[in-house]
Homo-oligomer: A and B are copies of this chain.
Amino acid sequence: MKVFVIGIGLIGGSFTIDIKASFNEATIFGIDRSEENLDKALSLGLIDQKSSFDNLDEADVVIVAIPVDATVELLPVVLDKINDSCLVFDVGSTKKKLCEIISEHPKRRNYLATHPIAGTEFSGPQAAIANLYRGKTNIICEVEKTAFKLQERGMEIFSRLGMRIRYMDPASHDKHIAYVSHLSHISSFMLGKTVIEKEKNERDIFDMAGSGFASTVRLAKSSPAMWAPIFKQNKDNVVETLEEYIANLTQFKELIENDDFDTIYNEMKDTNHIKTILKGIS
């Protein structure tokens, strides 16, 4: 099985580690616009060979693991170049625009739209780790538009990597993922910004920061090159979540200003319910 990975960073590299471990017969070919990343990936053993778009016709599987704006541009080109029995899947955090753009492509049936809910705040080939996807959810959109044999090939990979599959339409995916993923990245980035602005001349104040702050602001370490295009493609949903979040924060601030600490207590008590909801996510 010849697997081509376009974009050999945290997400792409973590796929190749597990695929090499799960499929003895797999050979991994890396494509990346950064020659430095390709060299790193080769020396880290994430790929077996460096390759290029010109060789995509040899691929059995192509994994597109690049920022979502680049995926929208390159996925049609990739589909043009592959052979008729090749499976292509992407792993981006937005699905609607991408599914629209390739909906009329003659090789639409070679493409599977997926979003593995997995990652860390780090990036680049050196951030790739084994078992990143084990026990994680993989959301698949418009599965019925992918050729049955290629669905099967994808499922075999996701299954050996230990993923749970959920099916969803692209519009619902983008709407809900805005709440459970995109919003928390923005809340974290803006928390980091607020504190950095305040404390910029008082560096040792950060001695006061504990593990709670570190946890809440962890996502502010994430890659801007990955996240700016996500906010762009999911603009309407992200703006909606931000409006609701800002409204809740403003109401909480007003409750404090009005000394209504009973209501504040109850709001927090109700939100403690998140314990139950999050059980099992680590």
Contact = CB atoms under 8 A, between A and B. Distances in A.
A249 B190 contact: yes
Stoichiometry, as copies per complex, reads 2
A176 interface: yes
Contact of A261 (B204, B209, B232): B232
Contacts of A217: 184, 274, 278
Contacts of A220: 268, 271-272, 274
Interface residues of A, number: 93
A212 to B, nearest CB: 5
A183 interface: yes
B224 A272 contact: yes
A199 interface: yes
Contacts of A222: 268, 272
A107 interface: no
A278 B209 contact: yes
Interface in A187-239: 187-199, 202, 204-222, 224-225, 227-229, 231-232, 235, 238-239
Residue of A180, A242, A264, A270 with highest tally of chain B CB at under 10 A: A180
Contacts of A228: 261, 264-265, 268
A121 B211 CA distance: 10
B209 A117 contact: yes
Nearest to A177: B208
Q: Chain A: interface secondary structure?
A: helix
A54 interface: no
A190 to B, nearest CB: 5
Contacts of A275: 221
B261 A213 contact: no
Nearest to A122: B275
A250 B247 CA distance: 10
A243 interface: yes
Contact of A194 (B117, B214, B241): B241
Q: Which 9 A-B pairs have the closest CB atoms?
A: A224-B268, A184-B216, A117-B210, A192-B274, A180-B209, A228-B265, A214-B281, A242-B253, A192-B271
27 contacts: A117-B208, A119-B210, A166-B204, A166-B207, A176-B199, A179-B198, A180-B209, A180-B210, A181-B208, A187-B249, A189-B271, A193-B267, A197-B248, A212-B218, A214-B278, A222-B268, A224-B264, A224-B265, A224-B268, A224-B269, A228-B265, A229-B261, A231-B261, A232-B261, A238-B256, A242-B252, A242-B253
